[in-house]
Amino acid sequence: MSPNCVVFLESEIINRCDLEVIFCDSEARAETFINRITAGVIRAPKKLIILNTTGEQPNGAHDTVQGLEVYSYDYVYALGEKHLVPVVPPAPDSTYVICFTSGTTGTFADFFQQNLAT
């Protein structure tokens, strides 16, 4: 797949799912998403979580994209440890798989798998 095709596919999935949180492997990848948000290619998610950071990225509101917060994974992990909540087991109608395919038509089809065991 060409890089442009990958950008289109990622952006289309993000927009169709209304993703609010995106996990990025690096600060460079986070910047790529921030550039796409700024360019209007994707609707702004509410949070970007960066897995591998240099520590230079501040945690909190992004300075140029309104409504976007950027955090390091370490920060989010530490926050979770401070504010533990009980585990909520899945219910029979809980969605656990979201799968996208372009199929043979070139039009996205989305599929949501739910737990059918009772």
DSSP characters over 66-108: TT-EEEEHHHHHHHHHHT-----PPPTT-EEEEEEE-TTTSS-
Alpha carbon distance 113, 72 (integer Å): 30
For residue 45, the model assigns a pLDDT of: 87
Task: Give the pLDDT mean for 10-18.
Answer: 81
For residue 118, the model assigns a pLDDT of: 46
H-helix or E-strand spanning residue 35: helix 27-39
pLDDT mean across residues, the chain = 80
Task: Lowest mean pLDDT of 12-16, 26-30, 85-89, 110-114, name the range.
Answer: 110-114
Mind listing the pLDDT tens digit for each residue in 36-92? 999 998 887 899 999 998 877 778 888 888 899 999 999 999 999 999 999 989 888
For residue 100, the model assigns a pLDDT of: 65
For residue 10, the model assigns a pLDDT of: 78
For residue 54, the model assigns a pLDDT of: 81
Q: Tell which wins on pLDDT, 94 or 106.
A: 94
For residue 5, the model assigns a pLDDT of: 57
Q: Tell which wins on pLDDT, 3 or 90.
A: 90
